[in-house]
A and B are shown apart, each in its own frame.
Chain A
Amino acid sequence: GAGVSQSPRYKVAKRGQDVALRCDPISGHVSLFWYQQALGQGPEFLTYFQNEAQLDKSGLPSDRFFAERPEGSVSTLKIQRTQQEDSAVYLCASSEGAVDNEQFFGPGTRLTVL
Chain B
Amino acid sequence: AQTVTQSQPEMSVQEAETVTLSCTYDTSESDYYLFWYKQPPSRQMILVIRQEAYKQQNATENRFSVNFQKAAKSFSLKISDSQLGDAAMYFCAFWGNYQLIWGAGTKLIIKP
Contacts and interface: CB of A to CB of B under 8 A. Distances in A.
| A and B together in one complex | yes
Nearest to B95: A101
Interface residues of B, number: 20
A41 interface: yes
B45 A91 contact: yes
Q: Which of A41, A42, A44, A89 has the most CB of B within 10 A?
A: A42
Interface of A: 31, 33, 35, 40-45, 48, 55-56, 59, 89, 91, 93, 101-108
Contact of B98 (A42, A56, A89, A104): A56
**Overall SS of chain A's interface:** strand
Given A101-B33, A101-B95, A102-B50, A44 B43 contact: no
A91 B57 CA distance: 31
